Amino acid sequence: MNAPAYNFAYLDEQTKRMIRRAILKAIAIPGYQVPFASREMPMPYGWGTGGVQVTAAILGPDDLLKVIDQGSDDTTNAISIRRFFEKTAGVATTTSTTDATVIQTRHRIPEATLHAGQVLVYQVPIPEPLRFLEPRETETRRMHALAEYGLMHVKLYEDIAHFGHIATAYAYPVKVNDRYVMDPSPTPKYDNPKMDNCAALQLFGAGREKRIYAVPPYTKVVSLDFEDHPFSRYRFDAPCALCGSEDSYLDEIVIDDRGGRMFVCSDTDHCESRQAQGHRGIQNAAPHKEAPHG
């Protein structure tokens, strides 16, 4: 399988060492953004170059890899990254959240509870939570160093002043281990509580911005809020149209040009395993035939 021109998992061993050092440092200082010498990857920035480098650095031949994009195992980004590692590392892949040892994700945390020994790798476009409030990198670094996070609340204040509630729906800032404020990558805020005290190791890679950060297992992760406007999760008020799930995060799919829409689980593995167990939503009368991917 392995193309001889490539080292295992594409990156050369020196690069992997460099990335692993950054990862170790990131784990040692939860939520702190560690700079690293991000490499050019055979994909454009914004397609997960940071996540791919982190995955490449931690992947071993025995790992079972799952890649999701917005919760889905079968979108372009997920498939291309999965095939990239099938080709360059020859590792086994899966769509099952529970079986996977390494899960690379873009913008979702799977619905199934992660367990100890798993690693969740996030693709991060903009690692700096303070970026759109404070444009200077020197200043944001200093603010992190001195734990001056008043500005983060300015953003939440603006939301309430303009919309009556905290309208930030994704990339909702969190405080990790009572110290660093961190951008959880553009995951919906519905997923934020899953980061808290999570059994799996969470690694974040930002390729273009050249930053790696991490949340070690069983670390406290708190979503920022106001006393009188506490953090709340958001999901569409509907069951999944395919599996009938009442508590998973839903995608809204427009199905015609007359305002018709359906809501389905964003996590395809979750939805398919529920359907395999016989759960049915309103738009899914026929028995589920599709075989799982992988």
Q: Is residue 169 close enough to count as binding other proteins by CB under 8 A?
A: no
What Cα–Cα distance (Å) separates residue 132 from each residue in 138, 140, 155, 166, 179?
14, 11, 9, 17, 21
Distance of closest approach, residue 73 Cβ to other proteins, in angstroms: 40
Convert residues 48-67 into a mask of x (bound to other proteins by CB under 8 A) and - (unbound).
--------------------
Query: Looking at 1, 3, 4, 162, which residue binds other proteins (CB under 8 A)?
Result: 162
Residue 243: active-site member: yes
Q: Is residue 142 close enough to count as binding other proteins by CB under 8 A?
A: yes
CB of 12 or CB of 137, closer to other proteins: 137
Q: Is residue 160 close enough to count as binding other proteins by CB under 8 A?
A: yes
CB of 154 or CB of 282, closer to other proteins: 154
Catalytic residue chosen out of the listed positions 50, 51, 205, 240 = 240
Residue 198: active-site member: no
Distance of closest approach, residue 156 Cβ to other proteins, in angstroms: 8
Q: By the 8 A CB rule, do 9 and 65 touch?
A: no
Residue 271: active-site member: yes
Q: Is residue 161 close enough to count as binding other proteins by CB under 8 A?
A: yes
Query: Looking at 43, 64, 148, 168, which residue binds other proteins (CB under 8 A)?
Result: 148
**Residues contacting other proteins: total by CB under 8 A:** 17
Q: Is residue 17 close enough to count as binding other proteins by CB under 8 A?
A: no
Q: Is residue 222 close enough to count as binding other proteins by CB under 8 A?
A: no
Task: Pull the structure tokens for residue 78.
Answer: 């997920």
Q: Is residue 251 close enough to count as binding other proteins by CB under 8 A?
A: no
Q: Is residue 157 close enough to count as binding other proteins by CB under 8 A?
A: yes
Which of the residues are catalytic?
31, 240, 243, 265, 271
Footprint on this chain of other proteins (rule: CB under 8 A): 133, 142, 146, 148, 150-151, 153-154, 157-158, 160-162, 226-229
